[in-house]
Amino acid sequence: MLLIQKMLRGYFPLQVFTFLLFFSTSSLNANEIEFQERASEIILNSLQTEPKKSFLRKAYKELLFSPVWMREKSLSKAAVELFDYITQDETLNKHGKLYKDALVLRRMAEDVYAKNGSIYDKISLEFKITQLYKGYIDYAYFGSINWGAFQARIANLKVNDVSTEWVLHRPDVYPAKMLVQAAFGTSMKKMLDAVQPTAYHYKALQNVLAKYLKLREEGGWEPVYLSKKLTPGKHDRGVYSLRERLRATGDYVSCNQSEEEDRYDKCLQEAVKRFQKRNGLKADAVVGPVTLKVLNIPLEDRITTIRLNLDRLKWLNERNSKRHVIINIPDFQLYFEEDGKLIQTMRVVTGKPNHPTPIFSDTVEFIVLNPYWNIPKSIIQKEMIPKLLRNPNAMARQGIEIRAGWGKDAPLVSGGSVNWAQYRYSKNVPYRFAQVPGYRNALGKVKFLFPNKFSVYMHDTPSKHLFKRDKRAFSHGCIRLQKPRELLRTFSTFNDNLDFEKAQKTLKGKTKTYINLKQKVPIDVVYLTAWVDYDGNLQFRNDVYGYDAMQLKSFRKW
């Protein structure tokens, strides 16, 4: 005991050491105490050659160099719960190293105790189980995306004049601290359950993954072959394979109108519509080349997409607010939650692939009625100056003022009075371009502000026709709203300083009006190509910015 005390005092104050030592040994018998002391000495000596930043060294320093998994006569409760948790995880690859390691280490531990193995055998296993634990934490709670490699890839897009960001929020999981809690008797299972993500229907997507993995074990689905485009009522031998394909994913449910023959009957049409809706396709029940291509995406690819999006969810901002706005870029849709329930949704237009909307979190703080559009420098140089070089009156025709500076009283400048060619590629443009309020304004009549370094916000638009498109990546990065006034009305229901009827009258004019919201709302711009919706249905969308492909280039396999 004296030897261990001397060694450990170099790492911990005496008061902390005495307190922890008392509680770690008070419920143990003499033989177990002797085992703990000898184990601590071996662990401390063994870790001297470990890199200072290694997980083993960090974890056991916090554990006072005491074993957490191995006891004198049997595995600890924490070890049993860890092995059970890993082997019962339905999302884990049963043919992968992590799952196999859990089985092997459990058998090895059982053998060590059955053969009355040495303390050195037990400490060797102690370290291996800790490494297994860290591996499982990395898999289940931090995920398989190499975020460093991905961030480097999107940074490289700047070479082609494409600039964006994906802001990360580290999962609230601290493996070493959890080990200390386990050593003091906290249930490992309860801790692992508690740190699982809960937002964005994470558990539901996990359950879907388990179903798809089971489907793979059962043989998966066969491709659909059609002789031509399939329209309602037509006959085709491919109808049989189409029906079975949709039965596999639960889209097809037999009904009274089902003939189960080669005619494309009403029951199968409804199944196709369900499938089309879940995949962001036009739900017209026509199985043309696009629908057929999506139907024939391999099951393995769908499993990979689900895994990828589960890992994205782990790094999103987990909100605990009453209200929450979510913009999902691949879905081109806004969702407004209240107490976790969907109260409003609408179509949105997001950034083009060469002007992508960044992935980040913020808070809606202000609403602007009849906004000016202060045009960003990049758009001035790429779009406005070339127009002015062709036609000096181009800005006036669009209702865009040019002012000599950003001051409140900066004088107006005519388009023909400046040599614009000198600013086409310069670092600074000493002029402010602002489109005046009105129905022609690119921001429409309403703007929702969440101040951020990207200068991204939500706004109205005069280009209403774009909302009829299924794919709506047309902006320079900001988020255009299909129903901005309806969103304005929603904000008015919980902000007593926002009178909707009064705002409607203001919108009939051109007076710019700021409203500072008393009840601000968190907003998250996310990128999900697979998720479970509010009705419990699995959804898939196209990889509009190519982020799936980038992240899968360095996606870790377990």
Query: Would the pLDDT of 128 be above 50?
Result: yes
Q: Please give the mean pLDDT across all residues of the chain.
A: 91
Which pLDDT belongs to residue 27? 55
152: which 2 tokens? Answer: 């480097």
| Cα–Cα distance for residue pair 543/183, rounded to 1 Å | 44
- Closest of 480, 440, 475, 474 to residue 460, by C-alpha: 480
- Whether residue 530 contacts residue 309, with contact meaning beta carbons closer than 8 Å, is answered with yes
- Closest of 109, 123, 12 to residue 66, by C-alpha: 123
| Cα–Cα distance for residue pair 287/289, rounded to 1 Å | 7
| Cα–Cα distance for residue pair 322/521, rounded to 1 Å | 9
**Distance set, CA 47 to CA 50, 55, 59, 261 (Å):** 5, 11, 11, 69
Which pLDDT belongs to residue 28? 61
In this predicted model, what pLDDT tens digit does every residue of 487-517 receive, in sequence order?
A: 999 999 999 999 999 999 999 999 999 999 9
Find the helix or strand (DSSP H, E) in which 379 lies: helix 377-379
Q: From the CA atom positions of the chain, what is the Rg in Å?
A: 30
- Whether residue 202 contacts residue 196, with contact meaning beta carbons closer than 8 Å, is answered with yes
Count of Cβ atoms closer than 10 Å to residue 463 Cβ: 12
Compare 531 and 255 and report the one with higher pLDDT. Answer: 531
Q: Which residues are catalytic?
A: 459, 478
9: which 2 tokens? Answer: 């005092």
Q: Of 10-14, 157-161, 325-329, where does the model show the most confidence?
A: 325-329
- Whether residue 245 contacts residue 222, with contact meaning beta carbons closer than 8 Å, is answered with yes
CATH homologous superfamily of domain 320-372+436-526? L,D-transpeptidase catalytic domain-like (2.40.440.10)
| Cα–Cα distance for residue pair 69/110, rounded to 1 Å | 13
Please compute the mean of the pLDDT values over residues 66-70 and round it to a whole number: 95
Instruction: Indicate the length of the chain as a whole number.
Output: 558
Which pLDDT belongs to residue 405? 85
Query: Would the pLDDT of 181 be above 80?
Result: yes
Q: What b/e string do you get for 113-140 counting C-beta neighbours within 10 Å, with b at 16 or more? A: beeebebebbbbbbbbbbebbbbbbbbb
Mean pLDDT lowest among 414-418, 472-476, 515-519: 414-418
What angle, 0 to 180 degrees and rounded to 10, lies between the N-to-C axes of helices 30-46 and 2-9?
40
In this predicted model, what pLDDT tens digit does every residue of 353-378 receive, in sequence order?
A: 999 999 999 999 999 999 988 888 88
Q: Which amino acid is at 312?
A: R
| Cα–Cα distance for residue pair 509/494, rounded to 1 Å | 25
Query: Would the pLDDT of 31 be above 90?
Result: no
Residue spans of the domains in the chain: they are 2-145+173-194, 238-295, 320-372+436-526, 378-434
Which pLDDT belongs to residue 22? 42
**Distance set, CA 482 to CA 14, 347, 466, 505 (Å):** 65, 5, 9, 20
In this predicted model, what pLDDT tens digit does every residue of 379-414 receive, in sequence order?
A: 898 899 999 999 999 898 888 999 988 887 889 999
Query: Would the pLDDT of 266 be above 90?
Result: yes
pTM, full prediction: 0.89
- Whether residue 217 contacts residue 223, with contact meaning beta carbons closer than 8 Å, is answered with no
Compare 21 and 352 and report the one with higher pLDDT. Answer: 352
If pLDDT is split at 50, 70 and 90, which confidence band does 259 have? confident
- Whether residue 491 contacts residue 363, with contact meaning beta carbons closer than 8 Å, is answered with no
